[in-house]
Chains A and B, each alone.
Chain A
Amino acid sequence: MTTTLSTPTGADLEPTTRRRRRRLGDRLLFAYTWLIILWLCVPIAVMILFGFNDTKGRYNTTFQGLTLKWYGRLFEIPALTDALANSLIIAVLNTLIAGTLGTLVGLALGRYRFRGDGTTNLVMFAVISAPELVMGASLLSLFVASGVGLGIPTILIAHVMFSISFVAVVVRSRVLTLDRYIEEAARDLGAGPWTAFRLVTFPMIFPAVLSGGLLAFVLSIDDFVITNFTAGTTQTFPLWIYGATRVGLPPQVNVMGTLIFAVGLLIAAGNVIAARRRPSSAR
């Protein structure tokens, strides 16, 4: 009798405690998630905030009230403006060149077996994992030895060199998931090799090309180490900031950083929306 009576109570009690325990676990997980998000956002928030800092002195390190004036006086420091312009020019060219070449390498590695494909694959990963210092130093020796004057062209060559690998790896992994018969189907239906690529293969790998290109842009615009070795007297945005830290960073740097971040955010949002609207392109 007792057993029959106690059974429902036990069965009733147990799930409650289990539920309570689970609720606690959920809460912890929730708190942990937000802690991480906060931690990741704090530096960015500080950067944005100090772009609005009404600082009077040379150092933009203590908050002295809100102002929008730095947005108005964004291009007041010519050297900084030039450095930013250089960085943007290099980043855009790098995106185009490394994006194109890297896509071709990724396509070749993902689709074809050819003499030296294993070596190419290895070199791609070697470049990604090689320390930047080593690459920068060796590029400097190379440029100096061959008598090339340092400047935007040498920076661009260096950036393209290390960005190609990232684009190639991203595109290659996408190509590997593609059904190669889809391109054959296009050929079968009367498309020449170029038309088949343009209308069928490229749209299918486009998300990867886009990610690869964005990666190339981001890697280029804030690269310091390799750029420092290959720039000569040319200034880029990161190089200028590094030089300026000794004398105090003007708030314009924060404003430029905020704007670059905002553009990046817009592109990312656009990417997500585009992917939602055409879900088939994600597969």
Chain B
Amino acid sequence: MTATIRTQAGQPTGPNRSDTPAIELVGVAKEYHSHGDVVAAVKGVDLAIGEGEFFSMLGPSGCGKTTTMRMIAGFEDPTRGSVFLHGEEVTGVAPNKRDVNMVFQSYALFPHMSVFENVAFGLKRKNVASPEIRQRVAEMLAIVDLTGREKRQPRELSGGQQQRVALARALVNRPRALLLDEPLGALDLKLRQHMQVELKRIQREVGVTFVYVTHDQNEALTMSDRIAVMNDGSIEHLGTPREIYEHPATKFVAGFIGTSNLLGGAVSALDNGRAVITFGPGERIVVPLPRNGVRPGQNLELTVRPEKIDITTAEPAAGDRSIVRGVVTEVVYLGTSTNYNVRTSAGSEVVVFDQNASNADFVAVRGDHVYLSWNPQHSYAIGDR
């Protein structure tokens, strides 16, 4: 439900904002029947993806990403709800009659056709004249950097090259939206990072709406205009990468995206739109009130990102900051930063990323008593849903 409200509030931030969304799902649900059981793969998803937007769906395995995408492409019919492409309802329309193209996780290149024939396949189905086909295929192969490989068979190409053929084969049709289901899943880390940059460049150059499925959060964060974080068949949070990272809507999202510290306690006072949780002497957590409000005495959970926390051995000036005490349990040097694991006096495990200055020593070593402090604006109370 939160997701729907957010969709309306946070408008698409894609480059070519237009009134009708490129893709719209309204109350879309999908149930599979297998061995007499009903599996709810997608449980009522509402979303609107803007023209030219790079939209990602992120979530753990089995959360319904592929199913959602296959309903957009037309390979599955929703059990309930409707799919709209550019304002036109397409629920029940065959995949070959939809103006979207898909890049499959396994690439699904035609093994008995050359690279040229693979890329030309869609244009031939539309009876495009052959000089134009040749020209458009050549242009597209240039974009994906495969000029000169026209005559190769797919099996004679490397994984990354096959991936780019799959991309070219879809993009050459100038679809109004491109659906990519974990297109980089099979590539090694280096090629993956290279292809992430390539994909982003191609998307910018061609200006097509991208719907991108991944379960790699870094990929989603770096590439997307907006992200839908899915869990168990529904969208838990839909927003820009920044919103999702900084203001995770639920505990699940906070835990799924990046490293997140979960703290909690009974609210002792409300102060000026903020909740205050006090522990021992000199320790207190201040956090902006959650949307649904909270009363003194109630338990409240909140998250703080590891890089927002300062770690010091001297007690910081009280001021406006949240301050917690703890003991360092682990120090890990990572080159550009140092990670500290700290057990707070209330018993929570907290991770702190401390940027390494040029010649600074470690702030603390294992066993040291330290103070953790952060700006309350950087911590968020979590709704339980």
A residues near B (Cβ < 8 Å) are 179, 181-182, 184-192, 195-196, 199-200, 203-204, 278-281, 283
Q: Contacts A181-B104, A280-B153; is A188 near B95 (CB within 8 Å)?
A: yes
Which of B105, B122, B155 makes the CB contact (< 8 A) with A280?
A: B155
Task: Provide the residues of chain A in CB contact with B154, threshold 8 Å.
Answer: 280
Q: Residues 351-366 of chain B: 1 if any A CB is under 8 Å from the residue's CB, otherwise 0?
A: 0000000000000000
Give B95-117 interface residues, CB cut-off 8 Å to A. 95-96, 101-102, 104-106, 108-112
Interface presence of B333 (CB below 8 A): no
B72 nearest CB across to chain A (Å): 11
Give B contacts to A, CB under 8 Å.
73, 75, 94-96, 101-102, 104-106, 108-112, 121-122, 125-126, 153-155, 169-170, 173
> Cβ of A186: which chain B residues have Cβ within 8 Å of it?
110, 121
A189 to chain B: which residues have CB within 8 Å? 96, 101, 121-122, 125, 169-170, 173
Among residues of B, the one whose C-beta sits closest to the C-beta of A196 is B96
B75 to chain A: which residues have CB within 8 Å? Answer: 184, 187-188
Determine whether the beta carbon of A188 is less than 8 Å from that of B101.
yes
B108: A residues at CB distance < 8 A: 179, 181-182, 184-185
Q: Is the CB of B95 within 8 A of A184?
A: yes
Known A182-B111, A188-B170; 10 more pairs at CB < 8 Å: A179-B106, A181-B105, A181-B108, A185-B109, A186-B121, A189-B125, A195-B125, A200-B110, A278-B112, A280-B155
Q: How far is the CA of A199 from the CA of B75 in the complex (A)?
A: 19
B122's contact among A179, A182, A184, A190, by CB below 8 Å, is which?
A190
Smallest CB gap from B112: residue in A: A203
- Chain A residues whose C-beta falls within 8 Å of the C-beta of B109 in the assembled complex: 182, 185
> Which of A182, A187, A192 makes the CB contact (< 8 A) with B110?
A182
Question: For the complex, what is the distance from the CA of A185 to the CA of B121, rounded to whole Å?
Answer: 10
Interface CB pairs A-B, < 8 A, 20: A179-B106, A179-B108, A182-B109, A184-B75, A184-B95, A184-B102, A184-B108, A185-B102, A185-B110, A186-B110, A187-B95, A188-B170, A190-B125, A190-B173, A192-B96, A203-B112, A280-B111, A280-B153, A281-B111, A281-B112
A192 neighbours in B (Cβ, 8 Å):
94, 96
Structural contact, B112 and A190, CB atoms closer than 8 A: no
Asked, given contacts A181-B104, A280-B154, A283-B155, whether A191 binds B125 with beta carbons under 8 Å apart, the answer is: yes
Cα distance, A281 to B73, chains bound together (Å): 28
Question: Which of A182, A188, A195 contacts B102 (CB under 8 A)?
Answer: A188
- Whether B104 contacts A190 by the Cβ 8 Å rule is no
Residue of B96, B111, B112, B153 near A188 (CB, 8 A) is B96
* B contact residues around A187 at 8 Å (CB): 75, 94-96
Q: Are B153 and A190 in contact (CB under 8 A)?
A: no
B173 closest partner in A (C-beta): A189
| Chain A residues within 8 Å of B73, by CB | 188
Measured between C-beta atoms, what is the minimum distance from B166 to chain A in Å?
8
